[in-house]
Amino acid sequence: MRYYLPSFFLTFLLDLTTKTLAENYLKESVKVLPFLNLTLIYNKGVAFGLLSDLPDPLRLPLLILIPIVAIIFTLYYSKGKGKVEGILLGLIGGGALGNLYDRITLGKVRDFIDFHIFNWHYPAFNLADASISVSILLLIFMELFKSRRFVL
């Protein structure tokens, strides 16, 4: 918990700050690198726009319940964990709270990071999405190496 809470709150605050900056300043797409644009979009679904076509009475409770469960799970699971695991779990929980905040206050999530290769665009995402995805992957790799199920 010692490493979880700072990671949790820092992720949440950075996510909200970057989303607010994107909303205030990205009136049109901005090319940052040949493969990276900053483009503000609003996502009613989950990652990659999944579930965005579900009717609101089904979609909204589901999209509010999942982050709450994620926050409770990561907080509980962080107890007694080491530094790296605590930080990664905090990144997941803080990212979940950042997207939950958007869903409750706006009814949708602000995404603005647009990776692309030529005309193929990866679905836009935000800092919360990146924190959650990267942390989950790192936790999986850590578990695989720790349990020796994965050998180089």
Q: Show which residues are catalytic.
A: 111, 129
Phi-psi region of 48 (alpha: psi -120 to 50; beta: other; left: phi over 0): left
Q: 66: which residues sit within 8 A by CB, 6+ positions away?
A: 46, 96
Distance CA 102, CA 110 (A): 7
Query: Closest Cα partner for 78 from 18, 126, 6?
Result: 6
List % helix, strand, coil for the chain (3-state, nearest 5): 60, 15, 25
Distance CA 88, CA 139 (A): 7
Structure tokens at 40: 């503000």
